[in-house]
Structure 1
Amino acid sequence: MIPQLVTVRHRRRNGRALRLYVPVVPVLLVLSPLLLLGVLAGLVACLVFRVSPMGALRGTGRLLWALPGTRIEIEQGRTAVLVSVR
């Protein structure tokens, strides 16, 4: 299942937290023209580097399928960032 919601939480130096909820499907719809250009560039790169386009597509699909449940936490000093994919 592809991710539906990405939550980004940023804790500032003063201790206040900023939380952003990013829905994946509407963002993909808005960015779909760029996504099409990215797919075409990926196909050209596969041909240049002699990589199977179907294998690259399958690997990308597996990566997207594994994203839900991923948590990325970065903390440096008093600043912290948490990215959660649901």
Structure 2
Amino acid sequence: MTKSTTPPFSDKLMMFHTRALSTGGIATYGGAIPNVLRHDLIPQFTRLTAELGKYGDKGAEIMIKHKWLEEQPSAANRDKLINHKTKK
């Protein structure tokens, strides 16, 4: 124990580790679904995978907000591209 009030690890590092753990959890549940012999567990694994996905999305939003992570690639806004071409 120390009397220090400064955290030993940065928020950025902790966020990256938390995000990595949630991604690992999704992979684990995804790998378990086709291999489980108890069919009553499949809906539970599916639900937990979806919950971890939402948790990971919130973490990504926090990381983007703090500029620790670039915004995820997304499809081009076709309507915006069409409107931009017609205005010229």
Q: TM-score, normalized by length of structure 2?
A: 0.30
Larger Rg: 2
Q: TM-score, normalized by length of structure 1?
A: 0.30
Higher strand content, 1 or 2: 1
Higher helix content, 1 or 2: 2
